Amino acid sequence: MPASNEKTVKVSVTGASGQIGYAILFRILNGEVFGKHVKIDLQLIDINVDKIQRALHGVALELEDCAFPLLNNLTLHSDPHTGFTDTEYCFLIGAKPRGPGMERKVLLQANGEIFKTQGVALNERASRRVKVVVVGNPANTNAYIAMMSAPDLSKENFSAMMRLDHNRAVNQIASQLDSNVNRLSNICVWGNHSPTMGVDITNGLLDGSNNLKDLLNKEWIAETLQPTVAKRGAEIIDQRGLSSAASAANAAIDHMHDWVNGTTWTTMGVPSQGEYGIPENIISGFPVNCNGERYSIIQNLDIDDVLQKKIEVSIAELKDEQENIKGLL
């Protein structure tokens, strides 16, 4: 018999039969986001094309076959309105991939329409406390579109995943220092989830007290760290023949886990309220703390000229993306 005080959360995942979906669902049901004692009503959403819906049914069969004790209820949807009903935690992963020769503008438009529909559905159906992380690319602008299409929800409900860039940076730094990632703190990534993002180690620490600024040289940061993180996605496609999936799923789990459970100093893509001169509503990577309920952007940090220039370039790219989808909103 379940204990009467047992908690159940409602979680929605779009693009559930895709690569990242396949890598994330089993971990969510294993308790890696909400804990080992929180039951889950899982609402899976993918588009209504026969082959894809069959694939989604196949994923559902496998989820059932895991006999996860935390799985309370599993439902499959092609309509986000039903898939988002009362949802409290939402992973927006599904998006249209960039086809060969497809212009970025065309991709922005196609995905813009998807995220507008999903924003409207969240506005109508989701819990007012819903936490949304957008993974589908272009993640920051898709999150902006969903947020602007959901006027009855708080802007704080929406975020974009910058955690993969963050994790990539942390791993590179740990490896350069021949250290462990656990010994590093206060690192973040600013701007867009794209090669323009800016890795920031200005406040970074090793073992809580040694400044990374004193341990890493400027040339390595500019010539190795920054480009390695910027091009990592392309490097993985080149080597694996497919885009990053398990590491992206892992980053989405880290993102939601820390938002739900609290943390100090991580990176989230969240709407600006004018912090650091970044225009209002631009969804940029920021250093944040989370208190288990809400995130807060860390204020009053020093930004040197090199980083400032990088942030400006990345924000200009985000403004350009917004300009391209203006007609949708």
Instruction: Indicate which residues carry an active-site annotation.
Output: 193
Closer residue to ligand NAX (CB): 47 or 303: 47
Identity of residue 114: I
Taking CB under 6 A as the criterion, the residue among 106, 110, 174, 245 binding ligand NAX is 245
Which span sits near ligand NAX by CB under 6 A: 10-18, 25-33, 121-129, 304-312? 10-18
**Shortest Cβ contact with ligand NAX: which residue?**
18
Smallest separation (angstroms) from ligand NAX to the CB of 318: 14
Q: How far is CA 105 from each of CA 112, 187, 231, 285, rounded to the nearest angstrom? A: 10, 32, 21, 22
Smallest separation (angstroms) from ligand NAX to the CB of 169: 13
- How are the residues of the chain apportioned to helix, strand and coil, as percentages rounded to the nearest 5? 45, 20, 35
> Hey, what are 251's tokens?
């980053």
Q: How far is CA 204 from each of CA 14, 123, 311, rounded to the nearest angstrom? A: 35, 38, 18
Closer residue to ligand NAX (CB): 39 or 166: 166
Length of the chain: 329
Taking CB under 6 A as the criterion, the residue among 10, 12, 14, 184 binding ligand NAX is 14
Which span sits near ligand NAX by CB under 6 A: 9-17, 57-65, 66-74, 194-202? 9-17
CA 152 to chain CA mean position, Å = 22
Which helix (H) or strand (E) segment holds residue 231: the answer is helix 226-240
Interface mask toward ligand NAX for 167-206; x: CB under 6 A: --------------------------x-------------
Taking CB under 6 A as the criterion, the residue among 12, 18, 90, 250 binding ligand NAX is 18
- Residue 139 sits in the site that holds ligand NAX (CB under 6 A): yes
Which residue's structure tokens are 């069969």?
61
Taking CB under 6 A as the criterion, the residue among 26, 32, 52, 230 binding ligand NAX is 52
Taking CB under 6 A as the criterion, the residue among 46, 88, 317, 321 binding ligand NAX is 46
- Residue 93 sits in the site that holds ligand NAX (CB under 6 A): yes
How is residue 11 annotated by DSSP?
E
Taking CB under 6 A as the criterion, the residue among 114, 130, 133, 188 binding ligand NAX is 114
What is the crossing angle of helices 104-125 and 139-148, to 10°?
Answer: 40
- Residue 106 sits in the site that holds ligand NAX (CB under 6 A): no
- Residue 159 sits in the site that holds ligand NAX (CB under 6 A): no
Smallest separation (angstroms) from ligand NAX to the CB of 249: 8
Closer residue to ligand NAX (CB): 38 or 52: 52
Phi then psi dihedrals of residue 225, to 5 deg: -60, -55
- Residue 143 sits in the site that holds ligand NAX (CB under 6 A): no
Which span sits near ligand NAX by CB under 6 A: 46-54, 151-159, 216-224, 287-295? 46-54
User: Whole-angstrom Cα distance, residue 144 to residue 159?
Assistant: 8
Q: Using the CB atoms, write b or e for 155-181: b if 16+ within 10 Å.
A: bebbbbbbbbbbbbbbbbbbebeeeee
User: Whole-angstrom Cα distance, residue 220 to residue 173?
Assistant: 10
- Residue 164 sits in the site that holds ligand NAX (CB under 6 A): yes
For residue 297, the SS3 value is strand
User: Whole-angstrom Cα distance, residue 108 to residue 63?
Assistant: 33
Q: How many residues bind ligand NAX (CB under 6 A)?
A: 28
CB atoms under 10 Å from CB of 291, counted, come to 12
For residue 130, the SS3 value is coil
| Residue ranges in contact with ligand NAX by CB under 6 A | 14-15, 17-21, 45-47, 52, 93-97, 114, 135-137, 139, 161, 164, 193, 243-245, 248
